[in-house]
Amino acid sequence: MSGSSVSAGGQKRRPVLGLTTYLQQAQTGVWDVRASFLPAIYFEGVELAGGISVLLPPQPVDDHIADRVLDGLDGVIITGGRDVVPAHYGQQPHPATDADVEDNRRRDQFEFALVRGALRRGMPVLGICRGAQVLNVAMGGTLHQHLPDVIGHNRHQQGNAVFTTSTIRTVAGTRLAELIGGSSDAQCYHHQAIDRLGDGLVISAQDDDGVIEAVELSGEHFVLAVQWHPEERLDDLRLFAAVVEAADAYATERASA
């Protein structure tokens, strides 16, 4: 598997990727506590692709703190989770949007700071589901708060933790098209989607309803976000392998600077 280079001591050096986490009430055993957590399938994808995962709990942050976090990383994955707070893109909340609570705001602000810091450094970024929306809002874009209002059905998120399969079609010439070809089946679970694109982002995939299913930044740096859940199909590691490979190249370049 690609995604590791050789250190000065002759050992394979695996790149380190930071994965953002949830922040909400959680139950385990006798405990019912406010917690930071992430489904294991995310970091299993990184491991299978040859990387090392570090979990990043939402916390009070500014750009200086975000930079200190990023100092120890070679790439960032912005993971799935609750809806981005609509106030962050200038809208009032839809009745179907997750509540505007402090923990949700904290996660948003933490991830926005990480995205800004990673982009300043040219550090690889992969967004997954909510992560695509975070990237878009961080770049000044907006979201459709409730997709059934726009396309007339709820097949992108049928509920009860059941993922649906959508066929997505990539845009020729994009990084995503180079990675996965012209089309792919995608595991979806989202009731929101990108509306107005953030500055500098281009559409790299849509589905048959015209929903934006992936965006990326043009140029040499790896900044790609998909609306679907590639971690739900670990028999296909192409996206995880791509971000791990980009993180390895970033680490190598940083070491030689």
| Active site residues per annotation | 129, 229, 231
Strands (E), the chain: 5-6, 12-13, 16-20, 22-28, 31-37, 52-56, 75-78, 125-128, 143-144, 164-170, 183-188, 193-194, 201-207, 212-217, 223-226
Q: Which two tokens stand for residue 181?
A: 């070809």
Which of 104, 157, 113 is CA-nearest to residue 135?
113
The SS3 assignment for 149 reads: helix
The SS3 assignment for 14 reads: coil
Measured between alpha carbons, how far is 196 from 194 in angstroms, rounded to an integer?
Answer: 6
10 Å Cβ neighbour count for 36? 17
Measured between alpha carbons, how far is 29 from 32 in angstroms, rounded to an integer?
Answer: 8
Which of 229, 224, 199 is CA-nearest to residue 214?
224
Distance spanning both ends of the chain, measured CA to CA: 26
